[in-house]
A and B are shown apart, each in its own frame.
Chain A
Amino acid sequence: MEVEKSLGHFEEIVLLATLRLAGQGYGKTIREQVSEATGRDVSIGALYATLDRLERKGFIKSHQGEATPERGGRAKRYFEVGGAGIAALSAMHVARNKLKRGLKLSPAPA
């Protein structure tokens, strides 16, 4: 995989959260998924910066959705993981598994 198209740690988490939402994910729901999984309150600005970076790399696609009164009449932007994104995730998974093979990750007894 090219270096500029590799996945950072946070990018991988965002990509997985977007994949879980199966094309129905937008800023708020992706942020909720990430916060729930990591236990960290992720800023919406950081999330959008990452989503834009992933889109530039060709891992995700986005399209404008409907505007609702709860959002003050503003439109949603839905994100969907593309083929390149899935390929990047599985490459990451394979690399991790190779590196973990034979390692004991549980903490050693005191």
Chain B
Amino acid sequence: MAITFGGREMEDNRLGNLEVNTKDIEAASAELDETFNRCIRALNTKNVTTSGERANRLKRTLGKLYSLNCELLNLFRDFNHSTRTANAALRKFERGETTREQVIVLRDEARAKAQLVLNYAEYAETAATKIEDDIYAAFDFYTARVYAELLKGRSDSATPSTAPTPPKSAEYILLLVLSKRDRENLIGDLAEEYAEIVQKHGTLKANFWYCKQAATSVAPSIKKIVGFGISASIGAALRRLISYFIDLLR
């Protein structure tokens, strides 16, 4: 990101109009605005259920994101004002209505504000990325999948995925049968191992391994979701039924 001071050369002994390329700052502000909107859409997604302290924390985070853009726009407005003042002083100087020193002071002030707004734009972009990641991290894995759509077009993800993609159908089976608690960790473990197998043995073998893992993980996962309590009750009922028939035979 850069601001150019165009027109005549801006040396200490010469004066010139400040011509500032403000496109970078406008782009930074637009990106902040877009990030804010993405987060609003994410929070308004019907799959997201937030309540109590968690909801308040997310609202505070969103508030921080909003204030970053407001502060950037304030600094930008302040800088624009200083630039106009410095350029007006230059015209006054050319008409002999003010001193050269006064123009230099105003010009330096505008340059300092230009640097400030640039630094803030860079800081705000980094902070906004982190805030967005924090907001997404607060949700469960299912909801995160909804965000995948919202994140499309976002160029600078903090942890870009470099992993090869496992077979989607097998992943969906796992998403269906796994408990909410295990979803992220278990699928992450599989993805990590899948990437290693792709590297060592190729995609075909890795896909086969992944599908096998998904298939053999279905039974234990369902058993876990349904609950051992129910299994035990069914077992007890069967035992009672068998003893009843044995008693009948006696």
Asked whether any CB of chain B lies closer than 8 Å to the CB of A5, the reply is no
Contact of B216 among A45, A52, A74 (CB under 8 A): A45
Known: A31-B189, A52-B224, A71-B163. A44 touches B184 (CB 8 A): no
Interface flag for A61 (CB, 8 Å): no
Please tell me if the beta carbons of B190 and A70 are within 8 angstroms of each other in the complex.
Answer: no
| B161 at the A interface (CB under 8 A) | yes
| B188 and A69 contacting across the interface, CB-CB below 8 Å | no
Q: Is the interface of B mostly helix, strand, loop or mixed?
A: helix
Establish whether residues A46 and B217, one from each chain, have CB atoms under 8 Å apart when the complex forms: yes
Report if B108 contacts A (CB, 8 A): no
| Given known contacts A28-B193, A46-B217, A48-B182, A75 and B188 CB-to-CB distance under 8 angstroms | yes
Q: With A26-B189, A71-B192 as known contacts, state yes or no: A43 contacts B160, CB within 8 Å.
A: no
Chain A residues 52-81 with CB under 8 Å of chain B are 52, 64, 67-77
CB-based nearest A residue for B184: A74
A64, B137: Cα distance in complex, Å = 12
Contact A70 B189 (CB under 8 A): no
- Taking a contact as CB atoms closer than 8 A, the residue among A43, A68, A69 that contacts B220 in the complex is A43
B139 at the interface (CB under 8 A from A): no
Cα–Cα, bound, A70→B160 (Å): 9
Given A68-B159, A69-B159, A71-B192, the answer on whether A45 and B220 have CB atoms closer than 8 Å is yes
Given the known interface contacts A43-B217, A43-B220, A49-B220, the answer about A73 and B161 at a Cβ–Cβ threshold of 8 Å is yes
A72 touches B163 (CB 8 A): yes
In whole angstroms, what is the CA distance A45 to B185 when docked?
11
- Tell me if B219 counts as interface (CB < 8 A to partner A): yes
Shortest Cβ gap from B152 to chain A (Å): 15
Chain A: CB-nearest residue to B177: A45
Contact partner of A45 among B162, B193, B217, CB < 8 A?
Answer: B217
**Bound form: Cα–Cα A53–B159 in Å:** 32
Q: Is A23 an interface residue (CB 8 A)?
A: no
Asked if B221 is at the interface (CB within 8 A of a chain A CB), the reply is yes
Are B224 and A49 closer than 8 Å at their CB atoms?
Answer: yes
Q: A82 at interface (Cβ–Cβ under 8 A)?
A: no
A74 to B218, CA, bound (A): 20
Instruction: Write out the residue numbers on chain A whose beta carbons fall within 8 Å of the beta carbon of B217.
Output: 43-46, 48
Give A residues with C-beta under 8 Å from B: 26-28, 31, 43-46, 48-49, 52, 64, 67-77
| Apart from A72-B187, A74-B191, 16 more pairs, CB < 8 Å | A27-B188, A27-B189, A43-B217, A45-B219, A45-B220, A48-B185, A48-B217, A49-B221, A49-B223, A69-B159, A70-B162, A70-B192, A71-B163, A72-B191, A75-B188, A76-B188
